[in-house]
């Protein structure tokens, strides 16, 4: 393995859904079309539907080429972002680069799905092996409360984009719904979701809940039992409750050595517990992880936050020093 610090790649991480997954960050923090109350990246700073080359294609493919030529192949390359990746106008070109040069690598795309009403975005997504859009609500009121969309987004058009895409796409389409207590878990919303899911017909429905700090401190996750009740009401043949931790799929070939920079890169994208860090870095030596965390805390790069009795480690965003005025 050739060590190098990448700017747009992260991991590989041992993802609960994808196995060993190399992440590609195509949207800078926090360019997004939604401002979800539970977002683990933080509040959206650029709320937009404008598609632009937010992260330069040439730089991304240079890093991908370097990584894939010098490291074991991951199970998946996952296109994601610290915002919405399909807002990057070159994301389709990144998929084509991978499909042309590394046809054995599978590609997953994590998206909030709001751009799927755009036929160009749908076309660009077609070569991906797995697309994982999210949909948290069907009624306008709940959608606006939980996802706080950019002003031009209309929930009916958003859903119609998901239905269109599902009809055109031949790969695996996994629809993720994140539930928050008091937001989208009441029966009437669940029944609306059930009816819309039958129209979207995804490969799988994945039920999730908050498992790390969001933007609002008083957000409450659903318990596993409550998610089971939700699953019964939605009553879709292929439905999973995404457990907080699944058995780590070990891959000795892709084992990576944990380092300060690796932990920091992970925490930049989301707050994590000690177990999260162990899971995604495939590092079973908790003492080693603790030592790294202590150093990062002492350096003022990371802080501890306790939420609902669970201890998370969070990246501290450094404020830029003001230039002295002449």
Please return the burial class of 57, using the count of CB atoms within 10 Å of its CB with bins 0-12, 13-18 and 19+: middle
**Whole-number minimum distance, CB 320 to ligand SF4, in Å?**
23
Q: To the nearest whole angstrom, how small is the minimum distance from the Cβ of residue 65 to ligand SF4? A: 27
**Shorter beta-carbon distance to ligand SF4: residue 35 or 93:** 35
Closer CB to ligand SF4, residue 88 or residue 112?
Answer: 112
**Sign, Cα dihedral of 276, 282, 285, 289:** negative
What does the radius of gyration of the chain's CA atoms come to, in whole angstroms? 19
Tokens matching residue 152: 């031009």
**For the range 276-282, what are the long-range contacts, defined as Cβ-Cβ under 8 Å and sequence gap of 24 or more?**
276/212, 277/313, 279/14, 279/16, 279/245, 279/248, 280/11, 280/13, 280/14, 280/15, 281/13, 281/14, 281/256, 282/14, 282/248, 282/250, 282/251, 282/254, 282/255, 282/256
Nearer to ligand SF4, 19 or 83 (CB): 83
Q: Is 88 helix (H, G, I), strand (E, B) or coil?
A: strand
Query: Residue 176 or 283: which CB sits closer to ligand SF4?
Result: 176
Supply the minimum distance, in Å, between the C-beta of residue 301 and ligand SF4: 22
- Planar angle of CA 167, 168, 171, nearest 5 degrees: 100
Which positions touch ligand SF4 (CB under 6 A)? 32, 34-36, 39, 41, 44, 83-84, 112
Q: Residue 74 or 149: which CB sits closer to ligand SF4?
A: 149
Residue 41 or 258: the one with the smaller Cβ distance to ligand SF4 is: 41
| Minimum distance from residue 215 beta carbon to ligand SF4 (Å) | 9
Name which of 128 and 146 has its Cβ closer to ligand SF4: 146
Could you tell me the smallest distance in angstroms from the CB atom of residue 110 to ligand SF4?
8
Decide whether 130 or 293 has the Cβ nearer to ligand SF4: 130
Smallest separation, CB 33 to ligand SF4 (Å): 7
Residue 139 beta carbon to ligand SF4: minimum distance, rounded to whole angstroms: 18
Q: How far is CA 266 from CA 34, 121, 298, 311, in A?
A: 22, 28, 18, 16
Quick check: 135 and 179 in contact, CB under 8 A? no
| Shortest Å distance, C-beta 199 to ligand SF4 | 22
Q: What residues have CB less than 8 Å from 173, skipping those under 6 apart?
A: 130, 131, 132, 133, 165, 166, 202, 203, 204
């Amino acid at each position: 393995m050739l060590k190098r610090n990448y700017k747009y790649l992260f991991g590989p991480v041992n993802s609960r859904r994808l196995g060993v997954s190399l992440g590609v960050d195509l949207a800078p923090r926090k360019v997004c079309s939604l401002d979800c109350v539970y977002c683990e990246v933080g509040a959206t700073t650029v709320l937009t539907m404008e598609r632009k080359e937010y992260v330069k294609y040439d730089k991304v493919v240079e890093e991908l080429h370097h990584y894939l030529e010098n490291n074991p192949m991951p199970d998946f390359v996952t296109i994601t972002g610290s915002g919405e990746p399909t807002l990057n106008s070159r994301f389709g070109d990144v998929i084509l680069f991978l499909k042309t040069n590394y046809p054995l690598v599978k590609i997953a795309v994590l998206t909030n799905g709001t751009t799927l009403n755009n036929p160009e975005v749908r076309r660009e997504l077609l070569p991906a092996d797995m697309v994982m859009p999210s949909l948290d609500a069907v009624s306008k009121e709940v959608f606006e409360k939980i996802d706080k969309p950019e002003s031009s987004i209309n929930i009916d058009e958003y859903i119609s984009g998901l239905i269109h895409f599902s009809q055109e796409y031949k790969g695996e389409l996994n629809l993720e719904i994140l539930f928050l207590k008091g937001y989208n878990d009441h029966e009437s919303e669940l029944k609306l979701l059930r009816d819309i899911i039958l129209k979207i017909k995804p490969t799988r429905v994945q039920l999730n809940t908050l498992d790390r700090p969001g933007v609002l401190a008083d957000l409450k996750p659903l318990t596993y039992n409550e998610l089971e009740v939700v699953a019964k009401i939605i009553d879709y043949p292929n439905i999973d409750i995404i457990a907080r931790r699944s058995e780590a799929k070990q891959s000795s070939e892709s084992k990576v050595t944990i380092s300060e920079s690796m932990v920091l890169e992970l925490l930049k994208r989301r707050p994590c517990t000690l177990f999260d860090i162990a899971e995604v870095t495939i590092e079973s030596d908790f003492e080693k992880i603790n030592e790294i965390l202590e150093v990062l805390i002492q350096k003022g790069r990371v802080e501890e936050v306790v939420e609902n009795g669970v201890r998370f480690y969070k990246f501290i965003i450094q404020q830029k020093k003001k230039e002295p005025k002449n």
